[in-house]
Protein backbone atom coordinates (compact mmCIF):
# COMPACT_ATOMS: atom_id res chain seq x y z
CA UNK A 1 0.00 0.00 0.00
CA UNK A 2 1.35 3.44 -0.90
CA UNK A 3 1.04 6.22 1.70
CA UNK A 4 -1.34 8.15 -0.56
CA UNK A 5 -3.61 5.22 -1.34
CA UNK A 6 -7.27 5.99 -0.73
CA UNK A 7 -9.75 3.70 0.96
CA UNK A 8 -11.33 2.56 -2.32
CA UNK A 9 -7.99 1.47 -3.76
CA UNK A 10 -7.07 -0.24 -0.51
CA UNK A 11 -10.36 -2.13 -0.53
CA UNK A 12 -9.50 -3.66 -3.90
CA UNK A 13 -5.93 -4.42 -2.83
CA UNK A 14 -6.98 -6.24 0.35
CA UNK A 15 -10.25 -7.87 -0.73
CA UNK A 16 -9.99 -8.09 -4.51
CA UNK A 17 -12.34 -6.70 -7.17
CA UNK A 18 -15.99 -6.25 -6.37
CA UNK A 19 -18.92 -3.83 -6.47
CA UNK A 20 -18.23 -0.10 -6.60
CA UNK A 21 -17.94 1.06 -2.96
CA UNK A 22 -19.44 3.77 -0.83
CA UNK A 23 -16.60 6.02 0.34
CA UNK A 24 -17.10 8.31 3.34
CA UNK A 25 -14.74 10.63 5.17
CA UNK A 26 -14.80 12.41 8.53
CA UNK A 27 -12.20 14.73 10.06
CA UNK A 28 -10.35 14.87 13.32
CA UNK A 29 -10.83 17.98 15.39
CA UNK A 30 -9.08 20.50 17.57
CA UNK A 31 -11.03 22.01 20.42
CA UNK A 32 -9.95 25.63 20.48
CA UNK A 33 -11.19 26.01 24.05
CA UNK A 34 -13.70 24.32 26.35
CA UNK A 35 -12.18 21.18 27.85
CA UNK A 36 -14.19 18.78 30.05
CA UNK A 37 -17.23 21.02 29.66
CA UNK A 38 -19.18 18.99 27.11
CA UNK A 39 -20.21 16.20 29.49
CA UNK A 40 -21.16 18.90 32.00
CA UNK A 41 -23.74 20.33 29.55
CA UNK A 42 -21.53 23.35 28.92
CA UNK A 43 -19.95 25.16 25.99
CA UNK A 44 -17.16 24.10 23.63
CA UNK A 45 -15.51 25.70 20.60
CA UNK A 46 -14.10 22.97 18.32
CA UNK A 47 -13.12 23.03 14.68
CA UNK A 48 -12.40 20.22 12.24
CA UNK A 49 -8.86 19.81 10.98
CA UNK A 50 -7.58 18.89 7.55
CA UNK A 51 -6.79 15.32 8.66
CA UNK A 52 -9.35 12.59 8.13
CA UNK A 53 -10.45 9.00 8.43
CA UNK A 54 -11.72 7.56 5.15
CA UNK A 55 -13.67 4.32 4.79
CA UNK A 56 -14.68 2.37 1.69
CA UNK A 57 -17.57 -0.07 2.08
CA UNK A 58 -19.18 -2.57 -0.24
CA UNK A 59 -21.67 -5.43 0.22
CA UNK A 60 -20.85 -9.10 0.57
CA UNK A 61 -23.13 -11.92 -0.43
CA UNK A 62 -22.88 -13.60 2.97
CA UNK A 63 -23.47 -12.16 6.46
CA UNK A 64 -19.88 -11.47 7.46
CA UNK A 65 -18.48 -8.04 8.24
CA UNK A 66 -14.82 -7.98 7.24
CA UNK A 67 -12.57 -4.95 7.59
CA UNK A 68 -8.96 -3.93 7.16
CA UNK A 69 -7.43 -0.96 9.04
CA UNK A 70 -4.31 0.44 7.41
CA UNK A 71 -3.10 2.23 10.55
CA UNK A 72 -2.76 -1.11 12.32
CA UNK A 73 -2.19 -3.33 9.27
CA UNK A 74 -4.87 -5.64 10.66
CA UNK A 75 -7.86 -7.54 9.36
CA UNK A 76 -10.98 -8.18 11.41
CA UNK A 77 -13.97 -10.33 10.56
CA UNK A 78 -17.15 -11.23 12.41
CA UNK A 79 -20.52 -12.76 11.61
CA UNK A 80 -23.08 -9.96 11.41
CA UNK A 81 -25.20 -10.92 14.42
CA UNK A 82 -25.32 -7.65 16.41
CA UNK A 83 -26.93 -9.03 19.57
CA UNK A 84 -23.91 -11.31 19.98
CA UNK A 85 -21.26 -8.62 19.52
CA UNK A 86 -18.68 -8.42 22.30
CA UNK A 87 -15.93 -5.83 22.65
CA UNK A 88 -12.63 -7.09 21.26
CA UNK A 89 -10.36 -4.28 22.38
CA UNK A 90 -8.81 -1.91 19.87
CA UNK A 91 -10.11 -0.48 16.62
CA UNK A 92 -12.65 -3.26 15.78
CA UNK A 93 -14.80 -2.10 18.69
CA UNK A 94 -15.65 1.12 16.86
CA UNK A 95 -16.95 -0.84 13.87
CA UNK A 96 -18.83 -3.26 16.11
CA UNK A 97 -20.29 -0.44 18.18
CA UNK A 98 -21.61 1.38 15.12
CA UNK A 99 -23.03 -1.82 13.64
CA UNK A 100 -24.76 -2.66 16.89
CA UNK A 101 -26.35 0.80 17.01
CA UNK A 102 -27.44 0.57 13.37
CA UNK A 103 -29.12 -2.76 14.06
CA UNK A 104 -31.82 -0.81 15.93
CA UNK A 105 -32.78 0.69 12.56
CA UNK A 106 -32.46 -2.29 10.22
CA UNK A 107 -32.16 -6.06 9.93
CA UNK A 108 -28.97 -6.26 7.91
CA UNK A 109 -29.72 -7.83 4.52
CA UNK A 110 -26.07 -8.66 3.79
CA UNK A 111 -22.57 -8.38 5.16
CA UNK A 112 -19.87 -5.96 4.13
CA UNK A 113 -16.22 -5.42 3.35
CA UNK A 114 -14.49 -2.29 4.58
CA UNK A 115 -11.12 -0.64 4.18
CA UNK A 116 -10.10 2.11 6.58
CA UNK A 117 -7.32 4.65 6.06
CA UNK A 118 -6.55 7.84 7.92
CA UNK A 119 -4.00 10.43 8.90
CA UNK A 120 -5.47 11.63 12.20
CA UNK A 121 -2.75 10.86 14.78
CA UNK A 122 -3.89 8.08 17.09
CA UNK A 123 -4.20 8.78 20.81
CA UNK A 124 -3.06 12.37 20.43
CA UNK A 125 -6.22 14.14 21.54
CA UNK A 126 -7.33 15.00 17.98
CA UNK A 127 -10.31 12.65 18.14
CA UNK A 128 -9.26 9.87 15.80
CA UNK A 129 -11.96 7.70 17.40
CA UNK A 130 -14.83 10.08 16.61
CA UNK A 131 -13.43 10.54 13.12
CA UNK A 132 -13.61 6.78 12.61
CA UNK A 133 -17.06 6.45 14.17
CA UNK A 134 -18.60 9.21 12.10
CA UNK A 135 -17.01 8.04 8.85
CA UNK A 136 -18.28 4.51 9.48
CA UNK A 137 -21.78 5.65 10.46
CA UNK A 138 -22.13 7.93 7.43
CA UNK A 139 -20.83 5.25 5.07
CA UNK A 140 -22.78 2.36 6.55
CA UNK A 141 -26.03 4.34 6.61
CA UNK A 142 -25.55 4.99 2.89
CA UNK A 143 -24.53 1.39 2.16
CA UNK A 144 -27.68 0.04 3.81
CA UNK A 145 -30.01 2.75 2.52
CA UNK A 146 -30.83 4.25 5.91
CA UNK A 147 -32.30 7.74 6.24
CA UNK A 148 -29.96 8.68 9.06
CA UNK A 149 -28.11 11.97 9.37
CA UNK A 150 -27.62 15.07 11.50
CA UNK A 151 -27.90 15.01 15.27
CA UNK A 152 -29.47 11.54 15.26
CA UNK A 153 -26.36 10.12 13.60
CA UNK A 154 -24.08 12.08 15.95
CA UNK A 155 -25.88 10.71 19.00
CA UNK A 156 -25.64 7.19 17.56
CA UNK A 157 -21.86 7.55 17.32
CA UNK A 158 -21.62 8.81 20.89
CA UNK A 159 -23.68 5.87 22.12
CA UNK A 160 -21.39 3.46 20.29
CA UNK A 161 -18.32 4.88 22.03
CA UNK A 162 -19.84 5.21 25.48
CA UNK A 163 -22.07 2.13 25.49
CA UNK A 164 -19.90 -0.36 23.58
CA UNK A 165 -16.30 0.85 23.51
CA UNK A 166 -16.61 1.90 27.14
CA UNK A 167 -15.43 5.50 26.93
CA UNK A 168 -17.90 7.80 28.77
CA UNK A 169 -17.33 10.68 26.36
CA UNK A 170 -19.32 13.82 25.80
CA UNK A 171 -20.73 14.58 22.38
CA UNK A 172 -18.36 17.31 21.20
CA UNK A 173 -16.01 15.14 19.14
CA UNK A 174 -18.69 13.39 17.11
CA UNK A 175 -20.63 16.63 16.70
CA UNK A 176 -17.61 18.50 15.36
CA UNK A 177 -16.63 15.65 13.04
CA UNK A 178 -20.08 15.76 11.47
CA UNK A 179 -21.16 19.41 11.49
CA UNK A 180 -17.85 21.28 11.05
CA UNK A 181 -17.60 24.08 8.50
CA UNK A 182 -14.52 25.31 6.61
CA UNK A 183 -12.78 28.29 8.25
CA UNK A 184 -15.20 28.15 11.18
CA UNK A 185 -15.29 26.94 14.74
CA UNK A 186 -18.56 25.70 16.23
CA UNK A 187 -19.73 27.40 19.40
CA UNK A 188 -21.68 24.41 20.66
CA UNK A 189 -24.12 24.50 23.55
CA UNK A 190 -24.09 20.85 24.60
CA UNK A 191 -27.29 21.20 26.60
CA UNK A 192 -29.38 22.69 23.81
CA UNK A 193 -27.45 20.72 21.15
CA UNK A 194 -27.26 23.83 18.99
CA UNK A 195 -24.27 25.65 17.56
CA UNK A 196 -23.27 28.95 16.05
CA UNK A 197 -20.49 29.21 13.49
CA UNK A 198 -17.61 31.46 14.56
CA UNK A 199 -15.19 32.73 11.94
CA UNK A 200 -11.57 31.54 12.11
CA UNK A 201 -10.45 33.47 9.05
CA UNK A 202 -7.43 34.93 10.80
CA UNK A 203 -4.95 35.73 8.06
CA UNK A 204 -2.01 36.54 10.31
CA UNK A 205 -2.31 33.57 12.70
CA UNK A 206 -1.29 29.92 12.29
CA UNK A 207 -2.78 27.03 14.27
CA UNK A 208 0.02 24.66 15.21
CA UNK A 209 -0.44 21.29 16.90
CA UNK A 210 2.59 20.04 18.86
CA UNK A 211 2.52 16.42 20.02
CA UNK A 212 3.94 15.52 23.41
CA UNK A 213 4.33 11.92 22.19
CA UNK A 214 2.72 10.77 25.44
CA UNK A 215 0.05 8.31 24.38
CA UNK A 216 -2.91 7.58 26.57
CA UNK A 217 -6.10 5.61 26.25
CA UNK A 218 -8.92 7.57 27.79
CA UNK A 219 -10.84 4.41 28.65
CA UNK A 220 -8.14 3.58 31.22
CA UNK A 221 -6.89 7.05 32.08
CA UNK A 222 -8.31 9.45 34.67
CA UNK A 223 -10.98 10.72 32.27
CA UNK A 224 -13.80 8.64 33.73
CA UNK A 225 -12.66 9.59 37.23
CA UNK A 226 -12.84 13.29 36.36
CA UNK A 227 -16.30 12.86 34.93
CA UNK A 228 -17.44 11.11 38.09
CA UNK A 229 -15.96 13.90 40.22
CA UNK A 230 -17.88 16.49 38.21
CA UNK A 231 -21.10 14.57 38.74
CA UNK A 232 -20.36 14.36 42.47
CA UNK A 233 -19.64 18.09 42.60
CA UNK A 234 -22.95 18.88 40.88
CA UNK A 235 -24.83 16.63 43.32
CA UNK A 236 -23.12 18.25 46.31
CA UNK A 237 -24.07 21.72 45.10
CA UNK A 238 -27.63 20.67 44.22
CA UNK A 239 -28.16 19.44 47.77
CA UNK A 240 -26.91 22.75 49.25
CA UNK A 241 -28.89 24.93 46.86
CA UNK A 242 -32.11 23.02 46.09
CA UNK A 243 -33.87 26.21 45.01
CA UNK A 244 -31.46 26.72 42.09
CA UNK A 245 -32.32 23.57 40.14
CA UNK A 246 -28.72 22.50 39.64
CA UNK A 247 -28.73 19.55 37.24
CA UNK A 248 -25.09 19.81 36.16
CA UNK A 249 -22.13 22.12 36.59
CA UNK A 250 -23.56 24.15 33.70
CA UNK A 251 -26.03 25.56 36.26
CA UNK A 252 -23.34 26.81 38.67
CA UNK A 253 -21.84 30.30 38.69
CA UNK A 254 -18.60 31.60 40.14
CA UNK A 255 -20.38 33.35 43.02
CA UNK A 256 -21.95 30.09 44.17
CA UNK A 257 -18.58 28.36 44.18
CA UNK A 258 -16.96 31.22 46.06
CA UNK A 259 -19.64 30.96 48.74
CA UNK A 260 -18.83 27.29 49.44
CA UNK A 261 -15.06 27.35 48.94
CA UNK A 262 -14.40 26.55 52.61
CA UNK A 263 -17.16 23.93 52.90
CA UNK A 264 -17.10 21.87 49.71
CA UNK A 265 -14.66 18.94 49.47
CA UNK A 266 -11.54 20.54 48.03
CA UNK A 267 -11.08 18.18 45.12
CA UNK A 268 -14.69 18.50 44.02
CA UNK A 269 -14.47 22.29 44.37
CA UNK A 270 -11.39 22.42 42.14
CA UNK A 271 -13.07 20.31 39.46
CA UNK A 272 -16.19 22.46 39.57
CA UNK A 273 -14.21 25.69 39.47
CA UNK A 274 -12.44 24.61 36.30
CA UNK A 275 -15.69 23.75 34.54
CA UNK A 276 -17.50 26.93 35.59
CA UNK A 277 -14.61 29.18 34.57
CA UNK A 278 -13.93 27.23 31.39
CA UNK A 279 -17.51 27.79 30.25
CA UNK A 280 -16.98 31.52 30.72
CA UNK A 281 -13.72 31.35 28.77
CA UNK A 282 -15.42 29.66 25.82
CA UNK A 283 -18.01 32.40 25.54
CA UNK A 284 -15.36 35.08 25.94
CA UNK A 285 -13.22 33.48 23.22
CA UNK A 286 -16.16 33.37 20.80
CA UNK A 287 -16.82 37.07 21.43
CA UNK A 288 -13.14 37.90 20.91
CA UNK A 289 -13.01 35.95 17.65
CA UNK A 290 -16.03 37.89 16.45
CA UNK A 291 -13.94 41.04 16.86
CA UNK A 292 -10.76 39.51 15.43
CA UNK A 293 -9.12 39.94 18.84
CA UNK A 294 -6.61 37.08 18.77
CA UNK A 295 -4.59 38.51 21.67
CA UNK A 296 -7.55 37.99 24.00
CA UNK A 297 -8.12 34.51 22.58
CA UNK A 298 -4.48 33.69 23.29
CA UNK A 299 -4.72 34.83 26.90
CA UNK A 300 -7.81 32.69 27.35
CA UNK A 301 -5.96 29.65 26.01
CA UNK A 302 -3.16 30.10 28.53
CA UNK A 303 -5.72 30.52 31.31
CA UNK A 304 -7.45 27.33 30.16
CA UNK A 305 -4.21 25.39 30.34
CA UNK A 306 -3.39 26.65 33.83
CA UNK A 307 -6.84 25.59 34.97
CA UNK A 308 -6.49 22.13 33.41
CA UNK A 309 -3.09 21.79 35.06
CA UNK A 310 -3.89 23.13 38.53
CA UNK A 311 -7.61 22.62 39.08
CA UNK A 312 -8.46 19.65 36.88
CA UNK A 313 -5.04 18.00 37.16
CA UNK A 314 -4.93 16.39 33.72
CA UNK A 315 -1.68 17.82 32.38
CA UNK A 316 1.76 16.20 32.20
CA UNK A 317 5.32 17.56 32.40
CA UNK A 318 5.61 17.29 28.62
CA UNK A 319 2.41 19.23 27.97
CA UNK A 320 3.39 21.89 30.49
CA UNK A 321 6.82 22.24 28.90
CA UNK A 322 5.33 22.82 25.44
CA UNK A 323 2.86 25.42 26.70
CA UNK A 324 5.44 27.24 28.83
CA UNK A 325 7.92 27.27 25.95
CA UNK A 326 5.25 28.87 23.82
CA UNK A 327 4.57 31.51 26.44
CA UNK A 328 8.27 32.39 26.51
CA UNK A 329 8.83 32.34 22.74
CA UNK A 330 6.10 34.40 21.18
CA UNK A 331 2.99 32.25 20.93
CA UNK A 332 -0.20 34.26 21.30
CA UNK A 333 -1.67 31.37 23.26
CA UNK A 334 -1.23 27.65 23.90
CA UNK A 335 -2.87 24.88 25.88
CA UNK A 336 -3.31 21.14 26.05
CA UNK A 337 -6.07 19.80 23.83
CA UNK A 338 -8.34 16.86 24.53
CA UNK A 339 -8.94 14.96 27.72
CA UNK A 340 -5.40 15.37 28.98
CA UNK A 341 -2.96 12.82 30.43
CA UNK A 342 -0.94 13.14 27.23
CA UNK A 343 -1.61 14.02 23.62
CA UNK A 344 -1.10 17.38 21.98
CA UNK A 345 -0.98 21.10 22.59
CA UNK A 346 -2.47 23.80 20.38
CA UNK A 347 -0.43 26.94 19.71
CA UNK A 348 -1.65 30.21 18.18
CA UNK A 349 1.41 31.69 16.53
CA UNK A 350 1.93 34.73 14.28
CA UNK A 351 2.09 33.50 10.69
CA UNK A 352 5.37 35.28 10.04
CA UNK A 353 7.18 33.42 12.85
CA UNK A 354 5.73 29.92 12.52
CA UNK A 355 8.72 28.27 10.80
CA UNK A 356 11.23 29.51 13.37
CA UNK A 357 8.77 28.68 16.16
CA UNK A 358 8.36 25.09 14.98
CA UNK A 359 12.10 24.57 14.63
CA UNK A 360 12.73 25.99 18.07
CA UNK A 361 10.09 24.08 19.97
CA UNK A 362 11.02 20.77 18.36
CA UNK A 363 14.67 21.20 19.30
CA UNK A 364 13.85 22.34 22.82
CA UNK A 365 11.56 19.36 23.40
CA UNK A 366 14.13 16.91 22.05
CA UNK A 367 16.75 18.30 24.42
CA UNK A 368 14.41 18.21 27.40
CA UNK A 369 12.87 14.76 26.87
CA UNK A 370 15.16 12.94 24.45
CA UNK A 371 12.51 12.27 21.81
CA UNK A 372 10.87 14.18 18.98
CA UNK A 373 7.71 16.25 19.21
CA UNK A 374 5.81 15.79 15.92
CA UNK A 375 4.23 19.03 14.73
CA UNK A 376 1.51 19.95 12.26
CA UNK A 377 -0.07 23.10 11.03
CA UNK A 378 -3.82 22.55 10.85
CA UNK A 379 -6.54 24.43 8.99
CA UNK A 380 -10.23 24.54 9.92
CA UNK A 381 -11.99 22.19 7.53
CA UNK A 382 -15.23 20.53 6.50
CA UNK A 383 -17.18 17.90 8.43
CA UNK A 384 -18.20 14.43 7.28
CA UNK A 385 -19.20 13.72 3.71
CA UNK A 386 -19.82 10.87 1.28
CA UNK A 387 -17.19 11.02 -1.46
CA UNK A 388 -18.89 8.60 -3.82
CA UNK A 389 -21.57 5.94 -3.71
CA UNK A 390 -21.89 2.32 -4.72
CATH of the domain at 154: 3.30.230.10
Structural domain includes residue 340: no
Structural domain includes residue 116: yes
- pTM (predicted TM-score): 0.92
Q: Can you give the residue range of the structural domain that contains 103? A: 7-199+381-388
**Cα–Cα distance between 308 and 274 in angstroms, integer?**
7
Average pLDDT in the chain: 94
Structural domain includes residue 127: yes
Mark whether 253 is an active-site residue.
no
Number of structural domains found in the chain = 1
**Parallel/antiparallel/unpaired status of strands 22-31 and 385-388:** antiparallel
Q: Which of 344, 330, 338, 273 is nearest to 307 (CA)?
A: 273
Banded model confidence at residue 84, pLDDT cuts 50, 70, 90:
confident
Look at residue 131 and tell me whether its pLDDT is greater than 60: yes
Task: Check 38, 50, 107, 173 and give the catalytic one.
Answer: 173
Average pLDDT for 307-317: 97
In Å, how far from its chain's centre is CA 246?
Answer: 27
Structural domain includes residue 272: no
The answer to whether 135 and 26 have CB atoms below 8 angstroms apart is yes
Q: Which of 29, 15, 25 is nearest to 55 (CA)?
A: 25
Average pLDDT for 300-328: 97
Amino acid sequence: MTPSMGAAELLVEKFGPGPFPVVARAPGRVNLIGEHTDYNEGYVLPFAIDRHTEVALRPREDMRASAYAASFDEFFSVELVPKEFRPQGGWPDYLLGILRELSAYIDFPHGLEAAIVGNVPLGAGLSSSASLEVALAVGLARLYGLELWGLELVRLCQRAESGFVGMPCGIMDQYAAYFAEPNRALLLDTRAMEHQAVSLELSDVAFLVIDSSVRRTLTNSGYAERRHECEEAARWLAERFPERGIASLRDVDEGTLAAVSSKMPKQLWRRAKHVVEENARVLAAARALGKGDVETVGRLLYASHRSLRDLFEVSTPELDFLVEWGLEHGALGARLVGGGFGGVTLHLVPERTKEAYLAGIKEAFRRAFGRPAPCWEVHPGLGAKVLNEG
